[in-house]
Structure 1
Amino acid sequence: MAIPESELQALFMHTITGLKISMKNIMKDKALSLSPLYFMLLKTIHDTENCTANYLADATERDKGQITRLVKEMMQQGLVQKQPNPHDKRSQFLQLTESGLDCFEQLAIADQAVLKEMRANVSDDELTTFLEIGNKMLQNLHKINGKP
């Protein structure tokens, strides 16, 4: 007999893996030598006013050193640039370059198409219920892990 919690874990793991594979395929089709994590970083930089490397580390729950390396790589590829923070000379804001914005927009369109296909045959009500339950579970995980 299947244990519902194990089925839940498997569902989430397979969903995450499926999304990563879809994004890798999209990037491969567009001849981009990036990983899905880069897309998430580009998205966060795009969506966050005055985004800093520290913010990226917190938002992605990644090591600051890893984020620094990834940002450096994105800068070398011409996707991201740094701008001085006028309020704190120790930090810099990250912005997408024109090339970075173009790359992000192409990937975002493809990502939305995958997400649309993923929710095929799922009603708006079902999706709303799923998201409400998922957010409750995420809040429970945050409590367990000592996150606000």
Structure 2
Amino acid sequence: MQHYESELQTLLINTIGGLKASMKNIMKEKGLPLSPLYFMILKHIHETENCTANYLADITERDKGQVTRLVQEVVNQELVIKTQNPHDKRSQFLLLTEKGLGFYQQLAKADKAVLKEMRADVSDEELKKFLEIGAKMLTNLHAINDKV
């Protein structure tokens, strides 16, 4: 009997590693002094209205201290600004600056090209099924982690 679990683990780790390597290469090629994690932070800030550091910690499943340091770094690089949350004086909304939006747009375009190449010869139907299965597995992982 075949043990597909090990193959699945290898596939997922190699896929994530390959995506990170592609993004690192694109960022280096464009002279952007960021890592793929920073791209994900910029992406979430861009796509989320009233984005906060707590939201980023939740969505990226990173601890709040790490996210605070990441946010501070993009603020220091003038890619993001903080604005006061009018509904909660203890939190701040994160917004991309013009410079941050420019970085994000360059990276998003390159990211889209990599993802398009990655799914070459994969039909929409195959991709949809893969995503459905992946979502089930992720739900299972969350259930396991919630028990611990």
Q: TM-score range by the shorter chain?
A: over 0.9
Query: What secondary structure does 1:145 align onto?
Result: helix
**Partner residue in 2 for 1:140:** 140
How many Å separate the matches in 2 of 1:16 and 1:109? 19
Shift of the alpha carbon at 1:2? Answer: 5.7
Q: Deviations over 1:79-104 (max 9, x none)?
A: 00001100011110000000001100
- Tell me how many residue pairs correspond in the alignment: 147
Taking structure 2 as the reference length, the TM-score comes to: 0.96
**Partner residue in 1 for 2:7:** 7
1:61 matched to 2:61:
yes
How many Å separate the matches in 1 of 2:126 and 2:55? 33
**Partner residue in 2 for 1:51:** 51
**Partner residue in 1 for 2:72:** 72
How many Å separate the matches in 2 of 1:69 and 1:37? 12
| Unaligned segments of structure 2, at least 5 residues | none
Q: Which runs of 4+ in 1 moved over 3 A?
A: none
**Partner residue in 2 for 1:109:** 109
Query: What secondary structure does 2:146 align onto?
Result: coil
**Partner residue in 1 for 2:36:** 36
How many Å separate the matches in 1 of 2:110 and 2:2? 35
| Unaligned segments of structure 1, at least 5 residues | none
Shift of the alpha carbon at 1:3? Answer: 2.1
Shift of the alpha carbon at 1:44? Answer: 0.5
How many Å separate the matches in 2 of 1:138 and 1:63? 19
Q: Deviations over 1:98-142 (max 9, x none)?
A: 000110011000000000000001011111111111111111111
Q: Deviations over 1:19-60 (max 9, x none)?
A: 000000000011011100000000010111101111111111
Query: What secondary structure does 1:21 align onto?
Result: helix
